[in-house]
Structure 1
Amino acid sequence: MSETHLTEAQYDAITEAAAQWCMRVHEPDCTDQEREAFAVWLAADPVHAFEYEAMLDIWDVSEHLPHPAPATAQVIALPRVQRRSPWSRFAVAAAVTLLAAPVAAYSGWQLGWLPNAYERFTADTSIRTVTLPDGSQVELNLGTQLTFSNYKDQRRVTLSKGEAFFKVSHDVTHPFLVQAAEGRIRVTGTQFNVWMYEDQVRVTLLEGSVLVTSNKNLSGDGLRLEPGMQARYRAGDYAAQISQTYANTPDLAWRTGKLVLDNLSLAEALPLINRYLNTPLTVADSATGKLRIGGVFNTRDINQLVTSLPKVLPVYLSRNADGQPVLNARPQNL
């Protein structure tokens, strides 16, 4: 954040501007000129970016609020709204986050509409272990972002990016939900790992049981995993793919700072590698993608792995039109 000392009025003005920009850029009719103006405003001061990130947290809660059943005036004295607008979504979330309307917030909690606790957790350059308000423990891998919201009838985590290992406090009456891409993992108390890269998700179960659905909008609770099982899906898949794992699965090596590539094709390995890169690697063609790689690498130094690939595989690095690194198979000598 900026070292500039702002008056309360100046800070309030920035907060209000951040809220207005947050609502405007989420509107489908936001113009290119408006987005350019927003980019200029965002870059003008680190405080602008800090306040906008806070507004995105609020927006994230409002976007994931349960859809309430119609309530009568006897239950809660709120005006009836036929269609929820972005302004009302923001107002509801802000009421909870800023405690601007404690009576409405309490009523929303009792009806299961609003959370009574909301926290955001990130891990940038080191692995981080956090304790959620419900007592559950979560280990966050490098470059991971997640949020926790506690509702009356459920505990909800949204994994925005990265990877996390969960030790969930047992509570049959208060299930624990993890939302990743378009899917959902439902548990009451267990230990499991969730890896996500772009629209790909992998759930590995160590203890207890979980229900995995690849699309939270589908009916039913999804597929049940038992210890030693893994589910994989992409956003939009009708169902997850289930497979067996083994005790020392390399999928959990990140907890000790390692990336284990167990004789994988480059096509399989790149999502695992790219999780740690600011600029993702691609392969030039399917033949390059079929080349296989194995080894144990330090997750804090994956860039060194990228530069060493031409030394261990018959490939060379080039750049595409967007400046992204591309792996190309070396031509075979005739």
Structure 2
Amino acid sequence: MTERTLPEAEYDAITDAAAHWCMRLHADDCTDAERLAFKQWHDADPLHAFEYAAMLEIWGVAEHLPRVEPMAIPATQRPRSRAGSMAIAATVLALGLPLAAFTGWNMGWLPNAYQRFEAGTSVRHITLDDGSQVELNLASELVFANYKDERRVTMKKGEAFFDVRHDSRHPFVVRAGQGQVRVTGTRFNVWMYQDQVRVTLVEGSVWVTSHRASKAGGQQLSPGMQASYRAGDFQPKVRDVALDDSSLAWRSGKLVLDNLALSDALPLINRYLDRPVMLADNATGTLRIGGNYNLNEVKNLVPSLPKVLPVYLTQNSDGNLVLNAIARPTRN
């Protein structure tokens, strides 16, 4: 955006308008007429678009906030359709960031640091605001927010290896899928694809829950253990793994498939594809595959599968490639 100077009052008016539209467009009762009016306002001036994008960043912070208990907001002041993080977001936008940040930090509502990281076609090494180190795998994304009572990472997609700075008074929590990992200082890996999550512990101790809204359940891991869960699991499934397990091979730029059934291998492969490959049936999923592959060449793996497995490729109505097992001839 080309920089230009406006009177302070005009800047304030644009900021107020951006805050108004941010709240209205997130409201359940927003009308089509309002959405059209917003588009006209948004497109009328590049500065409008710039200020609205900034407001969305603030709103994005609020979406990661803990929900306010209903009694914290008097019934006469409670929003008709939403409470919790939405009410806090409205407070942030209405009061202005500096005042809201001061109050929100002390109440444990708002972080004093907020960072978003993405990795594209190469592994990315990042340092979080608390000093923890993270390796971010290809096509991965996470958000870090530092709250008064905890350090919180939200995995948006992909995979990351964490080397967490120890702080027993300030726990480190990674939210992935419907569960979470809670630590004070340790080294571990989190892999996520759709609703599947795997946590591999290298050093220290972590507590893994498969449904963060539940007070019960969860598993404590020791080094050399891996927990996995998916949506709907009450308890994570735990198994022992070697610390040089294939799940950590991505840190060396490799995808290692150790004689896996296709049903287990495809989620690992699909993580790196623009469109997931599907299985035609359960029988195809029982075929096994092995080998070491460069991460940047995984897209070439699927077309080559008919050369190493008794399968052929078709395409479904959605445009996804489908693996089909070649039927074995029956004996008379």
Quickly name the TM-score band, shorter chain normalised.
Answer: 0.7 to 0.9
Question: Post-superposition shift, 1:317?
Answer: 1.0
Aligned to 2:169: 173
Counterpart residue type for residue 291 of structure 2 = G
- Aligned pair 1:250/2:246, yes or no? yes
Q: Which runs of 5+ in 1 are unaligned?
A: 73-77
- Cα distance in 1, alignment partners of residues 16 and 292 from structure 2: 46
The verdict on how the C-alpha distance between 1:321 and 1:259 changes in structure 2, with shifts beyond 3 A counting, is: same
Q: Aligned partners of 2:237, 2:59: CA distance in 1, in Å? A: 32
Superposition pairs of residues 73-222 of structure 1, within 5 angstroms: 81-83=77-79, 84-85=82-83, 88-94=87-93, 100-220=96-216, 222=218
| Cα pair 1:175 1:186 within 8 Å, conserved | yes
Residues 1:307 and 2:308 aligned together: no
Distance 2:121 2:288 in 1: 28
Letter in 1 for 2:161: F
Write the deviation string for residues 249-304 of structure 1: whole angstroms up to 9, x where unpaired: 00000001100000001110000000000011001111111111000001111111
Q: Distance in 2 between matches of 1:260 and 1:253?
A: 6
1:53 Cα offset (Å): 6.8
Partner secondary structure for residue 142 of structure 2: strand
Q: What's the CA shift string for 1:234-258, capped at 9, x where partnerless?
A: 0231111111111210000000110
Partner Cα distance (2:36, 2:316) in 1: 26
Larger mean Cα displacement after TM superposition, 7-16 or 186-195: 7-16
CA deviation vs aligned residue, 1:77-135 (integer Å, no higher than 9, x gap): x998434558634334557xxx9342332122112111111110110111001001100
Corresponding residue of 2:282? 286
Rate the CA distance shift 1:249–1:93 in 2: closer, same or farther, 3 A.
Answer: farther
2:209·2:235 contact (CA, 8 Å) conserved in 1?
yes
Q: Deviations over 1:200-233 (max 9, x none)?
A: 0000000000001000110047211110111000
Distance 1:167-1:81 versus aligned 2 partners, 3 A rule: farther
Aligned residue type for 2:204: G
1:20 corresponding residue in structure 2: 21
Could you tell which deviates more after superposition, 99-108 or 189-198?
99-108
Percent identity between matched residues is 56
1:52/1:324 Cα in 2 relative to 1: closer, same or farther (>3 Å)? farther
Residue 60 of structure 2 corresponds to which residue in structure 1? 60
Shift in Å, 1:149: 0.5
Matches within 5 A, 1:272-283: 272-283=268-279
Matches within 5 A, 1:37-52: none
Q: CA contact under 8 A between 1:22 and 1:55: conserved in structure 2?
A: no
What is the CA–CA distance in structure 1 between the aligned matches of 2:143 and 2:233, rounded to whole Å?
A: 24
Q: What is the CA–CA distance in structure 2 between the aligned matches of 1:185 and 1:67, rounded to whole Å? A: 19
How far apart, in 2, do the equivalents of 1:39 and 1:291 lie? 52
Q: What CA RMSD, in Å, does the superposition of the two structures yield over aligned residues?
A: 3.7
Partner Cα separation in structure 2 for residue 207 and residue 264 of structure 1 = 26
Deviates more, 1:189-198 or 1:14-23: 14-23
1-structure distance, mates of 2:117, 2:320: 29
1:239 aligns to 2:235 (yes or no):
yes
Deviation for aligned residue 1:332? 2.7
The answer as to 2:293 corresponding to 1:325 is no
Query: Size of the alignment, in residue pairs?
Result: 322
Q: For residues 305-325 of structure 1, give each alpha carbon's deviation from its aligned partner in whole angstroms, at most 9, with x where no partner exists.
A: 011111111111111011111
2:277 alignment partner AA: L
Question: Bigger radius of gyration, 1 or 2?
Answer: 2
278-287 vs 213-222, greater mean Cα deviation: 213-222
C-alpha change, 1:182 and 1:50, in structure 2 (3 Å) is farther
Relative distance call for 1:103 and 1:56 in structure 2 (3 A) is closer
Q: What is the alpha-carbon distance in structure 2 between the residues aligned to residue 214 and residue 54 of structure 1? A: 34
